[in-house]
A and B are shown apart, each in its own frame.
Chain A
Amino acid sequence: EAGVAQSPRYKIIEKRQSVAFWCNPISGHATLYWYQQILGQGPKLLIQFQNNGVVDDSQLPKDRFSAERLKGVDSTLKIQPAKLEDSAVYLCASSLGILGPFFGQGTRLTVV
């Protein structure tokens, strides 16, 4: 069974630029999550989707971050404009029922 796929693996941008990350969850997984992991910290939930509806986005900085999950499968996370403090690994994860979430390999974002 294929795991959670993410791209790109690495991204370096200048502050105030925009960036987008893509995620394809494990086949059949209805729940999709985006987490932010800053170096030395545990992952922090940004947004959770159930199919194509948002379950929780309480920790998403909505003035600069947006996410969508069209057709209940793939998802994109966008940052516009980026700040230095957005430098982190962005992890996509998916789950089915009570098991999970299972993480993708992540996108390491560096904002300079």
Chain B
Amino acid sequence: QKEVEQNSGPLSVPEGAIASLNCTYSDRGSQSFFWYRQYSGKSPELIMFIYSNGDKEDGRFTAQLNKASQYVSLLIRDSQPSDSATYLCAVNEGGTGANNLFFGTGTRLTVIP
């Protein structure tokens, strides 16, 4: 049974701080990793994807991947109240791309003004 584990939170950080969201996965064959943001009552919105070990930066967001440890994280710098949402980690079953994504249950982030 493939598993994607996330701390459900809530994770609270003050405005301007760095929010760190973590995700572990069970399938060593996984090669594509995605982070989605989901506001309450809305659908998931793709914010980052990463395929290679190391860091990938996009604006205030940095995704970090360590395949040896089966660990992927998302850092949000200069957190804003508008970042308050549930962040979903998704991992594919194998190969590249979005085939057969397994989602974690999400981490709820609250940014306190």
Contacts and interface: CB of A to CB of B under 8 A. Distances in A.
Interface residues of A, number: 24
Interface stretch (A19-27, A42-50, A62-70, A72-80): A42-50
B69 interface: no
A100 B99 CA distance: 10
Given A41-B105, A42-B88, A48 B99 contact: yes
A96 to B, nearest CB: 10
B98 A43 contact: no
Given A42-B4, A42-B106, A56 B99 contact: yes
Interface stretch (B11-19, B37-45, B53-61, B72-80): B37-45
**Most A-side CB within 10 Å, residue of B51, B100, B102:** B100
A50 B42 CA distance: 26
Interface in A90-107: 91, 95, 97-106
A102 B43 CA distance: 9
B99 A43 contact: no
Contacts of A100: 46, 98
Contact of A101 (B88, B101, B102): B101
Contact of B105 (A40, A56, A98, A99): A40
Contact of A31 (B43, B98, B103, B105): B98
Nearest to A91: B43
Interface in A1-53: 31, 33, 40-45, 48
Nearest to B103: A42
B99 A44 contact: no
13 contacts: A31-B98, A42-B88, A42-B105, A43-B44, A45-B101, A48-B99, A95-B97, A98-B32, A98-B96, A99-B49, A101-B101, A103-B44, A105-B42
